[in-house]
A and B are shown apart, each in its own frame.
Chain A
Amino acid sequence: MIKRSCLFTFFVVVLAQIAIAQQNPPEKKVLIDIENLNGGTVSEIFAENEYIPLEDTKESQINRIEKVESTKDRYIIHDDKKPGRIFIFDKQGKFIKKITEIPGKKMLDEGFREMWVDHERKEIIAEAFWYKDGNYNVFFDLDGKYLRMEKQTGNIYFGNKINAGVDNYMYDVKDTAKVKHRVTFYDGDKPLSKYVEADTNIRASGMDHNLMSWSGIDVNNNSVLFVESKDYNIRNVGVNGVKEVYKVLFPLKNSLPLDFWTNSTYVGKRFPIVNGNPDLVFGLQNLYKINNWLFFSAMHWNGGWNRVMYNLSTATALEMRNIQGDATNGYLPVTGLGLVGTDKENVYAVLSSAVVFQAKEEIAGKNPVYSTLMQEYFKTSSRLGNPVLIRLKLKSDF
């Protein structure tokens, strides 16, 4: 009897702890001095680097790579320039197939607006929109063959039917009487759980702009990285709740006042203040978490957005634009215009052929050694050719 009651008590305590933890998730301070971020060479920062030129033919011509997903033997690429299309290449950059349409259904001019890969089911999921019908997820196999269409529930797809709906705009928070959550998880179309209560103080203070909250993904945990527009806190939200909060702190001169979004005295002045003070960070975007690395862009108007790469274990803060080439990558540029994709070990960047050819010309005197793929690329392509994909493997012991 005593044993049973002890066990019962134990479970209650554990459950209570879990509940408390969910209400007060662990916080990690992320200190970012955007004027003093470190850099390094590509081999100092990454364990491996690989440059994959994407085959350039009339059929496989890519405009702009918005996202890359990597499978065992494929690169799935979303080109989001109108009309949005999906390209499938092999791991050597050889073109396999292009997906531009849905059999039997005419698409709008913008084509596919978003793309994910379900690694478990080995499916490509593409988002398509129609004015009358709304958003749909269109499913293809990894060879590009059409499978089916389903009405979209959440706007981030993880896999195995698990998806998350993230309310990015505060205008969606219309009704102050009901409690509204910003992140909702679904299994197919069945709601599973919801988190992050909307802060209606922002709306009550008088909104002069349609505030947007950015979101990203934690690749290893199938969870959402959500940033509330009123602060710099990145919430790592999974099906079971908020796991962690990364409290990003900037120097005072780069930080908005704490009540910037909730104090009505700022109504009508928010945009001019941000526009007139280029050092102020007004938001975080392009969020990724892979293992113990956190990636995000700090948005401000002074000299381009900072692309931060932060190690949660060692508290090292790097500026990705200051990662430079060395002999291991033929001294080519490393991170281009930013990350376009991740998997559990790598991040992916992309360079335009114009930049690659110009870079090659500039450093010809160093006699760099290029991979066979790149040598072939330099012989057959030109500055008008397809972009070059870059795979960068993260160091586990940085």
Chain B
Amino acid sequence: MLLILVVCLACLNLYAQQKDPNAIGEIKGVVRDSLHNFSLNAATIAIYNKADSSLVVYQLANRLGEFSAKNIPIGKPLFADFTYLGYKGERRNFTLKAANKVLDFKNVNLSNKDIVLKEVQIKPPPVRMNKDTLEFFADAYTLEKSATVEDLIRKLSGLTVWGDGSITYNGKAINNLTVNGKPFFGGDLKVATQNLPKNIVEKIQVFNKASENNPLDSTLQMNVKLKKGMNKGLFGKVGLGYGTDKRYGADASLNYFNDKMQIALIGAANNTNKTANSVSQLQQNASFKGEGTSVAYNPDFRQQGINRQYASGAQFQYDFLKVRKVIEDADLLTGDYFISKIFNEVQRASTTDRVVPQSADTRKLDNSSNNTVSNRQNLSFNYTLNNSKNSLSVRPRINRNSSESNSSSISSVTTQDGLPQSNASARNLGANTYQFYGVTGGYNLKSPMGSSTSLLKPTFNLSFDISTDESKNDRTNMTDFNSLTDPAQNRSYNRKYQTSVRNSKEMFELQSMPLQQLVFGRYDRSGINMTLRNRLDLNQYKADDRVSDFDVPTNRYQTNNYLTNRTNYNLLNDTYGLNLSRYYELSALEGRYQKTMSVNVALHGQFLKQDNRADQKVQNIGRKYNAFIPSANISYSNQQNGSHSNQYTLEYKTRIEIPEISQMAPLVDSTNVFSFPLGNLNLKESYHHEVVMSFGHNPNKASKGLNYGFNLSYTAINNMITDSIFYDQQGRRTNYFVNANGYQSLGVSGRSTKSFKLADHQLQFRLTASYSYSQRPNYIDGFKNMVQSHSGKVDLNAGYTFKDKLFLDFSQGISNSSSKNVGSANLNSFGNLRLSTSSSLSVPVFNGLTVNTNITYENFKPTNSKAINFSIWNATLIQRFTEEKNIELRLSALDLLRQNKSISVFNDGSTLSTTNVSTLTQYFMISVAYFPRKFGAKK
């Protein structure tokens, strides 16, 4: 950590320049429309170096058209461009003299664009406000040839790029980024910002998009508008790496886009725990700008075991829209195909201590080894239509997965003094196939344009989700259990399972048009918006379980009539009711502040019908449930013009959970020698209450105040379905489910962000903190027990950027969790404290060569155990060649200190388990990559 700081300071010294007050001057004047006799409010004045057209400084004229730009270098040839929307720009060349440091341009007259005059080529302004949209013009900012959109965004006032690639404007997150009004290769903003070159961009637009459901809510959107003729391009990557310990990595991607269409083909292979679950993740790993302090491009050292993946995929998008009148208009078809094969090898060693005052303490040791090969194919399409009259979305998808696994384990149980009680060994072989076919979507009929509408205007709205999936599972379980205290308990099993499941689901949700005029009459002035909603979920589940046991005398598998079972389960779930909403303007002083509130109340009922038919008659169960599940939320907003805005939300929700068949009447599988479930036909549904409060504060300008927010949530469950566990001397547990009252949980979280931009320096801070408390009832050996758990977490992240070249990131996290049993006898506590400190540095050393290094230190201290600590230190040298920087040589050293461990601790109220899992450790690798890039039409 100290080494990183020293490097950082040395680089700062290398780059830092002192501003000599004798070397700077000022220009001033007034920008006017002299023909029409008025000054141009907020005209843009931008000053550039004549030598390389790099931007020196820019500002907006004041209300009287006056400007005064300071810190202008003396003795340097410069030019000033004056621009205003709807006017021809004006350029003035000048050089400030030492003898006269203040240059007064007096009146700078601009002409209306309709007036024909000699054209002067000037650069577009760095920034301007175009109605409600803030626009930054890319050509005003001079960056190196290989700069990407992300490099440009770092330069823009008010915009901050964080270490994880996310972007905020004045502290508020940008949720959605489009390119020329359309999603770009799946919609992940990093694909656009880290691949598109800055020099094909005309402007970056930032604007607010109001939420259709809540007038008090809006999200920030960003659109990258490309230059004319640049809406066509090709970019990708071809990379190969090989290292010690036979580690390898390879990836290839090719992306093509034009005005109507986008196509991507991508593939990757590695045995370094870089696993991707989608094409979007593969895209993230193949981006052109793989620099900075982002650790997204490093292998995941926290993954369990060693994973070897071969994956590929394709993305497709076609835009049918002829004319986009507003940015929300859409007529878009996208498709996504992903295929992957993963080989996983993992070894686990866990220690489980049972520490409950009512029973004898035991310790269980488990060692297991697992090898799995899994295959996956996902195909999905998405069609979206949105215009002023209606919107439609249809999303069909198909998944096909299969896997084969082979695992073995050895377990032993001893008393706390080390006296052996029992042991067991098991081997499992399995093969599984899964197929899913589904379609989701919705249709919304909107109010005709121009007709009077209330502020909250949900109209006719239909959503649906229809799917069916089939799975087949073949598994063989060979188990031997030996009791060292009672040999009569010894058991051996060789059991085969062949399970086929077919599961069909249909969901339809309909929301009516506003009904208040029907109820209150044509001249309704109540302001209440009233709709009816109905959601119907149907589920048909058919399972065919064939279980057979190996019969030694006949040397064949014989049917196990108890566990062999066919199940036909049907569930009907209907939620219906009335939704009421109203919007209030509480108080406002025009031009000063506005306080508004919206109230939404849902008076819903729920009806469920559960019907299970099975060969095992104990599982023939039919139940009906009825419940009233209201919900409500209130949002309050206080907008103080020119200062800040505060938003408060209070929400109350209810729901029920019905007991599952496996909880009411499970079939006991004797091969699970340490756990025996029992059924309870008297189980009732649990009723959940949840209250959530949130608060957010956003200053109008990032420079004026802190952006912060809090969240508070509380949950209480009546008749919670929980465990009642009995332990025997062999360490085996008998478990059945009961209803119990007393579950409560409380969670509090807060966050704050702040960023500063000063000339070439940028500082960013992000602080998040959370605390949660829960108390969960259960029964242990017949005694009611309450497991109280606390956990707290604080994370501080600080980032520093200098001249968009040096990046330094620092994170400190502290998390603490503890739980104790509050029963009728003694208290037992378990807890752990985790400290995580990490730091990253990225610094260019000389032309094209960058040094990246990151180090993470983890300290983990569970109760009654020794502290575990380790450091993971990675370092990478990256050399980019050519002016476009599209050829890369990379030397990586991962887990240099060879200390990586994977440890987890779990407490279920009666036992504490600590598990060590095998994981990826030190290796070195050399990689080469080529990034093909071509943008724009051929000249």
Contact = CB atoms under 8 A, between A and B. Distances in A.
Given A35-B112, A325-B64, A40 B37 contact: yes
Nearest to A384: B592
Interface in B85-132: 86, 112, 114, 131
A103 to B, nearest CB: 25
A358 B589 contact: no
Contacts of B585: 82
A313 interface: no
A383 B642 contact: yes
B325 interface: yes
Contact of A39 (B36, B589, B590, B592): B36
A63 B588 contact: yes
B591 interface: yes
Nearest to B452: A210
Contact of B63 (A35, A82, A333, A353): A333
A104 interface: no
Candidate in B37, B112, B449 with the most chain A CB atoms within 10 angstroms:
B37
B132 to A, nearest CB: 11
A38 interface: yes
Contact of A38 (B38, B449, B590, B591): B38
Nearest to A358: B642
Nearest to A278: B131
B325 A276 contact: yes
A37 B86 CA distance: 13
A324 B31 CA distance: 13
B450 A81 contact: no
A325 B37 CA distance: 13
B382 interface: no
A363 B64 contact: yes
Contacts of A209: 450
Contacts of B36: 36-39, 322
Nearest to A131: B523
B593 interface: yes
Contacts of B450: 209, 271, 275
Contact of A383 (B38, B325, B592): B592
B114 A36 contact: yes
Contacts of B540: none
A324 B37 CA distance: 10
A352 interface: yes
B283 interface: no
A272 interface: yes
B33 interface: yes
A359 interface: yes
B219 interface: no
B39 interface: yes
A13 interface: no
Interface in B64-90: 64-65, 86
Contacts of A82: 585
B449 A63 contact: no
B645 to A, nearest CB: 14
Interface string A179-207: 00000000000000000000000000000
A352 B590 contact: yes
Interface string A330-368: 010100000000000000000011110011001100000
A363 B61 CA distance: 12
B490 interface: no
Interface in B439-459: 449-450
B49 interface: no
A354 B63 contact: no
Contact of A362 (B62, B590, B591): B62
A354 B38 contact: no
A383 B590 CA distance: 11
B591 A352 contact: yes
A268 B473 CA distance: 60
Contacts of A355: 591
Contacts of B37: 38-40, 44, 322
B462 to A, nearest CB: 25
Contacts of B589: 61-63, 384
B641 interface: yes
Nearest to B587: A63
A277 to B, nearest CB: 11
Contact of B38 (A64, A271, A322): A322
Interface in A47-92: 61-64, 81-82
B389 to A, nearest CB: 10
A333 B64 CA distance: 9
B112 A354 contact: no
A276 B589 CA distance: 33
Contact of B39 (A62, A275, A324): A324
Contacts of B33: 39
Contacts of A62: 589
A225 B104 CA distance: 48
A250 to B, nearest CB: 14
A323 interface: yes
A387 B64 contact: no
Interface string B639-650: 001100000000
Nearest to A353: B592
A322 B112 CA distance: 14
Contacts of A324: 38-39, 63-65
Nearest to A39: B38
A278 to B, nearest CB: 9
A81 B112 contact: no
Nearest to A40: B37
A303 to B, nearest CB: 7
A359 B62 CA distance: 9
Nearest to A333: B63
Contacts of A36: 36, 112, 114
Interface string B575-613: 000000000010011111100000000000000000000
B591 A363 contact: no
Candidate in A276, A319, A352, A354 with the most chain B CB atoms within 10 angstroms:
A354
A59 to B, nearest CB: 15
A53 B37 CA distance: 29
Contacts of A303: 131
A81 B590 contact: yes
Contacts of B642: 354, 358, 383
B591 A35 contact: no
B592 A352 contact: yes
Nearest to B323: A276
Contacts of A331: 64
Nearest to A304: B131
A354 B62 contact: no
B449 A362 contact: no
A354 B39 contact: no
Interface string B548-570: 00000000000000000000000
Contacts of B593: 384
Candidate in B65, B585, B592 with the most chain A CB atoms within 10 angstroms:
B592
Interface string A250-285: 000000000000000000000110011000000000
B590 A35 contact: no
Nearest to B388: A272
A271 B325 CA distance: 14
A64 B594 CA distance: 12
Interface in A24-43: 35-40
Candidate in B38, B112, B593 with the most chain A CB atoms within 10 angstroms:
B38
27 contacts: A35-B86, A35-B114, A36-B114, A38-B38, A40-B37, A40-B38, A44-B37, A61-B589, A62-B589, A63-B590, A64-B590, A271-B450, A272-B388, A275-B449, A322-B36, A324-B38, A324-B39, A324-B65, A355-B591, A358-B642, A359-B63, A362-B63, A363-B62, A363-B63, A383-B642, A384-B589, A384-B593
Interface of A: 35-40, 44, 61-64, 81-82, 209, 271-272, 275-276, 303, 319, 322-325, 331, 333, 352-355, 358-359, 362-363, 383-384, 387
- Which A-B residue pairs are the 5 nearest by beta carbons? A39-B38, A352-B591, A271-B450, A322-B38, A64-B590
Given A37-B36, A358-B642, A384-B593, 6 more contacts: A38-B36, A81-B588, A82-B585, A322-B36, A352-B592, A359-B63
